[in-house]
């Protein structure tokens, strides 16, 4: 079955750029939306944004100015960059597959295990 | 800024029934918000339970059901098991944006 695996540095310095990659195995990256979600320690889930396999994106307005997502269909990977990070960006970052059929169904069904990113000097 | 509100905490006895709700600051939650529900246990990633209001994933236990109730999305657990103790999150779709609720901590006691 489809599995997702997040990867990237676990420690990022303040003001630098956080970069994470999600590798999709057991299935194709095509025909799906791919989302990033984060969860600060002891807090709830926050949707960061999604990228469609074709490359179109939609970001959380509260993070939009700092977020960039990209997709590499040849590697079955998609990526997240979050710039100018502060301690408030410390969180577990998850990637998730999203199914979207307009006017019918939208859902996130497969999630990665998450990766912890700490912002600290 | 759209806010999705859930009960912060609920307690239920084993074998009992409990309903969690999910409200939108924009007004009534309808099927057009495609409500999703997730279960998260400590140290684990969220697991999808319900999508598009009431549809179950292939792995969702039969005791979980979703509906619309009083202008909100609702998740009902019938015949609660000890292993259902967890945090539950709803997710609503607002056109291109997605917003998670703050989560409900369900205690089975």
pLDDT of residue B66: 98
Cβ <8 Å between B51 and A106: yes
Indicate the pLDDT class of residue B28, thresholds 50, 70 and 90.
very high
Indicate the pLDDT class of residue A101, thresholds 50, 70 and 90.
confident
pLDDT of residue A102: 82
Cβ <8 Å between A111 and B48: yes
The Cβ of residue B33 has, within 10 Å, a number of other Cβ atoms equal to: 25
Gap from B8 CA to chain A (nearest CA, Å)? 11
* Residue A21 clears pLDDT 90, i.e. is over it: yes
Q: From CA A86, how far away is CA B50, in angstroms rounded?
A: 34
pLDDT of residue B96: 87
SS (H, E, C) B42-75: CCCCCEEEEECCCEECCCCCCCEEEEEECCEEEE
Tell me the pLDDT of chain A averaged across its residues. Answer: 96
Output the CA angle A38-A94-B101, nearest 5 degrees: 45
Q: From CA B85, how far away is CA B16, in angstroms rounded?
A: 13
Q: From CA A120, how far away is CA A111, in angstroms rounded?
A: 26
The Cβ of residue B104 has, within 10 Å, a number of other Cβ atoms equal to: 20
Q: What is the CA radius of gyration of chain B?
A: 13
pLDDT in tens, A46-69: 999 999 999 999 999 999 999 999
pLDDT in tens, A70-91: 999 999 999 999 999 999 999 9
Cβ <8 Å between B46 and A45: yes
Q: Taking Cα atoms as reference points, which of B84, B87, B81 lies closest to residue B100?
A: B87
pLDDT of residue A24: 97
pLDDT in tens, B44-88: 999 999 999 999 999 999 999 999 999 999 999 999 999 999 999
Average of pLDDT values for A2-14? 97
Give residue ranges of A with CB < 8 Å to any B CB: 35, 37, 44-47, 50, 58, 60-62, 94, 104-114
pLDDT of residue A103: 80
pLDDT of residue A35: 97
pLDDT of residue B50: 98
Gap from A59 CA to chain B (nearest CA, Å)? 7
Q: Do the beta carbons of residue A81 and residue A88 sit within 8 Å?
A: no
pLDDT of residue A7: 98
* Residue A32 clears pLDDT 90, i.e. is over it: yes
């Amino acid at each position: 079955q489809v599995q997702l695996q997040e990867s990237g540095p676990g420690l990022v310095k303040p003001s630098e750029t956080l970069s994470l990659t999600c590798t999709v195995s057991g299935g194709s990256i095509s025909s799906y939306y791919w989302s990033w979600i984060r969860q600060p320690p002891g807090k709830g889930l926050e949707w960061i944004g999604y990228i469609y396999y074709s490359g179109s994106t939609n970001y959380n307005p509260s993070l939009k100015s700092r977020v960039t997502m990209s997709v590499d269909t040849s590697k079955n990977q998609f990526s997240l960059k979050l710039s100018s990070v502060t301690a408030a960006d410390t969180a577990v970052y998850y990637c998730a597959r999203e199914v979207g059929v307009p006017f019918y169904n939208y859902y996130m069904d497969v999630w990665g295990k998450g990766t912890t990113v700490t912002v600290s000097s | 800024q759209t806010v999705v509100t859930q009960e912060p905490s609920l307690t239920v006895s084993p074998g009992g029934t409990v309903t969690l709700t999910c409200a939108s600051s924009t007004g009534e939650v309808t099927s057009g918000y495609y409500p999703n529900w997730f279960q998260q246990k400590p140290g684990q990633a969220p697991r999808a339970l319900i999508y598009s209001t009431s549809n179950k994933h292939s792995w969702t236990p039969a005791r979980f059901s979703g509906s619309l109730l009083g202008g909100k999305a609702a998740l009902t657990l019938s015949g609660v098991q000890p292993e259902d103790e967890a945090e539950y999150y709803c997710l609503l779709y607002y056109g291109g944006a997605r917003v998670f609720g703050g989560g409900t901590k369900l205690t089975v006691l």
